[in-house]
Structure 1
Amino acid sequence: MSEREGLRADSTHFTLGGAPFLILGGSIHYFRVHRAHWRDRLLKLKACGLNTLTTYVPWNLHEPERGVYQFQEQLDMEEYIRLAGELGLWVILRPGPYICAEWDLGGLPSWLLQDKKMKLRTTYSGFTSAVNSYFNNLIPRITPFQFKNGGPVIAVQVENEYGSYAKDEQYLSFIKEALLSRGISELLMTSDNHEGLKCGRVDGVLQTVNLQRLLSGDVQHLAELQPKKPLMVMEYWSGWFDVWGEPHHVFTAQEMISIVRELLDRGISINFYMFHGGTNFGFMNGAVDLGSYKPQTSSYDYDAPLTESGDYTTKYHLLRKLLSNYNKEPIPEPPAVQSRRAYEPVVVSHYISLWESLQCAETHFRADDPVSMENLPANHNNGQSYGYTLYQTDIYSGGELNSRNHVHDRALVFIDRELIGVLDYRTQKVTISHSKSERTLSLLVENCGRVNYGPALDNQQKGLIGDITLNDVPLKKFSMYCLDMKTSFINRLQSLKWMSVGQKPTYPAFFRGTLVVDQPTDTFVKLPNWSKGVVFVNGQNLGRHWSVGPQKALYLPGPWLKSGDNEIVVFEELKAAETIHFAENPEYSKTVEVSTQLFCTLL
């Protein structure tokens, strides 16, 4: 196919194929949506009057171990781009390598942290060599889909929000060259919030801005920095994310529409972040740490125009009505809403204690000093990325156990398998009763999610990251068990002898029940009167449950169910109930409107 003129930013408006073009985009991440639902979600995006899909590319999923690449099934990025093109959507790709996205470590693989000298998002050789290897595998998968080759990709983003980080003046140039040298030839963009615009510039790359309200002169600031160029809001925040223990965030449809109308009236291109948030399945949620550590929820609903389960909202309908005025052709009718159902409650039948499960651990390792998850000899020496690690040692007295803030992120503390307390960022001391006999101290340490944004990104080792002391003396001679809770681990548990729940369980434990399904349908899993843990359905990790809220139900896509018996396993740290419930809709413990103050705090 002869080369065509792609997206251009040579004047105050974009052109595509030589004709004026207004980008009306929406973010839907393929890795947050079950593959079977991709077409449905993209058709709904198009039916809202949008012409462009944007998506990040998560390095940590595509290269989970150094040199091991995964682009199949749920991670088939090429099929996702192909599908978007087939449906008549343009694509703006945001390949990182850092993506933020409220995603563990901003999408960077945890094995990078094995290098004690690592400087993330800089031109430090340990980082650039890893990026080059990844891009050697990733970028050739993208280039055939570029506009010039007849594909839907019209622009590619250079990293993400680097102006807010800006630790290395050469870094953005390195990423730009890494893209160009591997054949990326479509329009390049950067994306920053107001404060990052000044430091996020790189020659020959169009700047775009991220915002929600028009309070800080963000668009005017962008126009002054970049005169005679088209203006674009790369992330128009349609809502906001949630963290555990705080309310569910909402942003009113009416306020959103009035701001979007003003942007469009000024001829400004826009991309809705998120248009459909989806789910942080498994252990993929990130965390905030701008003075205090706060892990994000498994739900990434984001109060977006399409809900976590793909339903239409008031935002969607109002936005569709508004965007119909910016489409030359009538926009298609929205697809029918997919059905969901509340299955009958499942009675928990069997359990197996955490202590029994240790024989299925990925790794059992001994050392004088505790070792962080990333440096455990697990997963072909790529370390442990996610889940829990159990640290055990013998003690010979009581007194004050002090974590010295070396517990990342949360630890249940046991003496001879009896729970005596919890250590985290707020609680760093536990008193151990006195005894002259030898006892086993166990700490079950959970990685609750690595920070995805801000200066704390550089310090995201998990597990025990240093000494803990008993009466000011560092403890030694640890046994460590890697409990990453991958599907393979959950499958190995099945070979063990499970106990009937008629016998009183010891916690923590895995609980098992069977959901009988005739026709697999989307649903939500609810765990009233349970405390904290993880939910697996047919070996698939749906995410975390935690009674502190605000998330009170876990989204379960129908394609992960099958006709007949479906095995549900719940890892529960503290308190289980007799039944597992289901609902048609999500539930939140408390809701609060996103405030201007929140943005000032975070940005």
Structure 2
Amino acid sequence: MSRVDGLSANSSQFTLGGEPFRILGGSIHYFRVPRAYWEDRLLKMKACGLNTLTTYVPWNLHEPQRGTFNFQDQLDLKAYVTLAAQVGLWVILRPGPYICAEWDLGGLPSWLLQDTGMQLRTTYPGFVDADNLYFDQLVSVIKPLMFQEGGPVIAVQVENEYGSYAKDEKYMPLIQNFLRSRGIRELLLTSDNWEGLRYAGMEGVLKTINLQRLSFGAIQHLADMQPQKPVMVMEYWSGWFDVWGERHHVFHSEDMLPVVSELLKRGVSVNLYMFHGGSSFGFMNGAMDVGTYKPQVTSYDYDAPLSEAGDCTRKYQLLRNLLSQFHAEPLPVEPALGKRRAYEPAAIRGYLSLWDSLHFTDKPCRSERPVNMENLDVRGDSGQSYGYTLYETTITGGGTLNSRNNIRDRTLVFVDRHRVGCLDIRTRELALPDGPGEVTLSLLVENCGRVNYGKALDEQRKGIVGDILLNHTPLTGFTIFCLDMKPDFMNRLMHSGQWKSDFKSPSIPGFFQARLHVDGPPRDTFIRLPGWGKGVVFVNGQNLGRHWCIGPQLFLYLPGPWLRSGENEIIVFEEQQVDDKIRFAENPDHGRTVDVYKLPFCTLL
């Protein structure tokens, strides 16, 4: 195969190395899959009959602090792409800088929001300067992986769904130039839904479409826009994501397979989004806001052909049967399913109150007025990105506390460290009890996830973003604690000698400690927390993500490679209520379901 002739879109069918080529793609995000399972998931992709891997690249993980880059370990993009090539897959990279992906701020770093005038996804100088430096680092990693350099990357996407945003007509050509000027010569693509296709295209960049329902009008419209060009569905949505407090979305294979089959019969190239969703571990889930803010759950199962834990579902088997018709040779044998275990319940052995844990945080900040999370003087000059922030001040007397909608996104309210209520996007006023003399007012604010899609990206600062009123007077004189629960803090917490063993009347919020003993090789499992309320789970220092009794997600996926034979440390940060055990199951419980194909599309957005 000629390495000069990469993927070409100069006729009604793609060619690769000068030969006709049909993209049978699927999305798996390396940052949502434990590195130990990359090979397993890619082998299952190959065995299903797909020939191309697509993945986003999350800027906010690769540059977590301004000027500090990480392409190692779980974020070793080069190793992931190289492994895909070894498995026999081509690769399409989708490096953003914005990726959406139901990922916090659509993959953009939160420290960009320190600039009060920031205009994300535009040619605003502050955004362009930061983006420029990121592309310097990124392209140095990905350029050797390009097809014409001997690698597997056959195409690169320019930004993502910009037609639905379209704030700056000069922006997309700028991103195109960022890639071309740094030596990326492979085919460039854009990706848009039906609405976004109205945005003007760029010379030399192929438009693709995202959809779920079969729309011959949309497909024909795309073909008419680009005569004698191949038609591609960059995102064929194989399922849908979930938000807290609603039902788990399912998309039945009986509805999905006929659409994929019809697209393939018409010669369309298809990429399944997602082929395998994985998990938005830690605090990395995004949120949607189309009139109402709705944070997304930790699980990114997506009802994809390959489940969150790597199971080959019925959807996978039917898809494999369909795709086998497009291969001259038999498909590879599917890798065996990994074993799972429902471990014995782990008893709570100790707890540490939120208030006692403050000794292990970094030095608190002091400010006359509230400071939003991103602008706190912590973590160098990059502020706080994720987790919780505690604001404390002194008040005299009770009355009406009014958030003025300046809480982002949810706060527990305490008077002298006794809980008195909760404020969030819906509840903005709270009556505080009267008391003699001065008392401490504490506001524990949770960043529940930044919006990842739509016009509200510039307004995603978290914590307290403006004045809070008590009896119409702004509160002042704050001491502010950063509770981002990063590994250094969790390590100090874990090894402290201050854990209390008297579990009869634990102080909530607090950290609750248990140990799981694993006999033999560690296996995948699912953590279940019946009797608990809302919080975060850590296993051996790894942040598995959020739990919340309102569902639909009633479990947390715990990969076997994150366990060890012998003793394992589990810590639950809990806000509301506790049980005396942590339980485990072999299979997930997604809660109540709803058929995504029977919902009006507008209700999904």
Q: TM-score, normalised by structure 1?
A: 0.99
1:588, CA displacement in angstroms?
A: 1.9
Deviation per CA, 1:320-363, whole angstroms, max 9, x where unpaired? 00000111222101111111110000000100000000111134
1:397, CA displacement in angstroms?
A: 1.6
Q: Which amino acid aligns with 1:498?
A: W
Aligned partner of 2:503 in structure 1 is: 502
Aligned partner of 2:545 in structure 1 is: 543
Aligned partner of 1:366 in structure 2 is: 366
How many Å separate the matches in 1 of 2:227 and 2:2? 32
Q: Indicate conservation of the 8 Å contact 2:3/2:17, yes or no.
A: no
Greater CA drift, 537-546 or 220-229:
220-229
Gaps of 5+ in 2: none
1:601, CA displacement in angstroms?
A: 3.7
1:555, CA displacement in angstroms?
A: 0.3
List aligned pairs for 1:579-594, cutoff 5 A.
579-594=581-596
1:454, CA displacement in angstroms?
A: 0.3
Greater CA drift, 325-334 or 315-324:
325-334
Aligned partner of 2:42 in structure 1 is: 42
Aligned partner of 1:523 in structure 2 is: 525
Q: Which amino acid aligns with 1:339?
A: K
- Asked if 1:125 corresponds to 2:155, the answer is no
How many Å separate the matches in 2 of 1:137 and 1:93? 15
- Asked if 1:250 corresponds to 2:250, the answer is yes
Deviation per CA, 1:528-550, whole angstroms, max 9, x where unpaired? 11000000000000000000000
Q: Indicate conservation of the 8 Å contact 1:417/1:442, yes or no.
A: yes
1:496, CA displacement in angstroms?
A: 4.1
List aligned pairs for 1:276-425, cutoff 5 A.
276-425=276-425
Q: Which amino acid aligns with 2:218?
A: D
How many Å separate the matches in 2 of 1:325 and 1:435? 75
Q: Which amino acid aligns with 2:140?
A: P
Gaps of 5+ in 1: none
How many Å separate the matches in 1 of 2:225 and 2:598? 24
Q: Indicate conservation of the 8 Å contact 1:516/1:566, yes or no.
A: yes
1:526, CA displacement in angstroms?
A: 0.5
Secondary structure at the counterpart of residue 377 of structure 2: coil
1:597, CA displacement in angstroms?
A: 4.1
Greater CA drift, 118-127 or 496-505:
496-505
1:503, CA displacement in angstroms?
A: 4.0
RMSD: 1.1
Q: Indicate conservation of the 8 Å contact 2:135/2:178, yes or no.
A: yes
Q: Which amino acid aligns with 1:561?
A: L
1:225, CA displacement in angstroms?
A: 1.5
Deviation per CA, 1:22-53, whole angstroms, max 9, x where unpaired? 00000000000000000000000000000000
List aligned pairs for 1:184-195, cutoff 5 A.
184-195=184-195
List aligned pairs for 1:58-73, cutoff 5 A.
58-73=58-73
1:216, CA displacement in angstroms?
A: 7.1
How many Å separate the matches in 2 of 1:195 and 1:82? 35
Q: TM-score, normalised by structure 2?
A: 0.98
How many Å separate the matches in 2 of 1:427 and 1:467? 16
How many Å separate the matches in 1 of 2:59 and 2:436? 51
Give the paired residue count. Answer: 603
Aligned partner of 2:534 in structure 1 is: 532
1:381, CA displacement in angstroms?
A: 1.9
Aligned partner of 2:19 in structure 1 is: 19
List aligned pairs for 1:568-587, cutoff 5 A.
568-587=570-589
1:504, CA displacement in angstroms?
A: 1.1
Aligned partner of 1:444 in structure 2 is: 444
Secondary structure at the counterpart of residue 499 of structure 1: coil
Q: Indicate conservation of the 8 Å contact 2:25/2:272, yes or no.
A: yes
Aligned partner of 1:556 in structure 2 is: 558
How many Å separate the matches in 2 of 1:22 and 1:215? 20
Q: Which amino acid aligns with 1:25?
A: G
1:3, CA displacement in angstroms?
A: 4.1
Aligned partner of 1:9 in structure 2 is: 9
Q: Which amino acid aligns with 2:316?
A: Y
Secondary structure at the counterpart of residue 568 of structure 2: strand
Q: Indicate conservation of the 8 Å contact 1:552/1:588, yes or no.
A: yes
Deviation per CA, 1:348-386, whole angstroms, max 9, x where unpaired? 010000000011113401110000000001111200000
How many Å separate the matches in 2 of 1:352 and 1:600? 45
Q: Indicate conservation of the 8 Å contact 2:14/2:22, yes or no.
A: yes
Q: Indicate conservation of the 8 Å contact 1:147/1:154, yes or no.
A: yes
Q: Structure 1 residues 506, 294: CA separation in 2 closer, same or farther (over 3 Å shift)?
A: same
Q: Indicate conservation of the 8 Å contact 2:388/2:484, yes or no.
A: yes
Q: Which amino acid aligns with 1:388?
A: Y
Q: Indicate conservation of the 8 Å contact 2:413/2:420, yes or no.
A: yes
How many Å separate the matches in 1 of 2:604 and 2:249? 14
Q: Which amino acid aligns with 1:148?
A: Q
How many Å separate the matches in 1 of 2:110 and 2:447? 12
Q: Which amino acid aligns with 1:591?
A: T
Secondary structure at the counterpart of residue 578 of structure 2: coil
List aligned pairs for 1:94-105, cutoff 5 A.
94-105=94-105
Q: Which amino acid aligns with 1:541?
A: N
How many Å separate the matches in 2 of 1:390 and 1:233? 45
1:589, CA displacement in angstroms?
A: 2.0
1:600, CA displacement in angstroms?
A: 2.3
1:303, CA displacement in angstroms?
A: 0.1
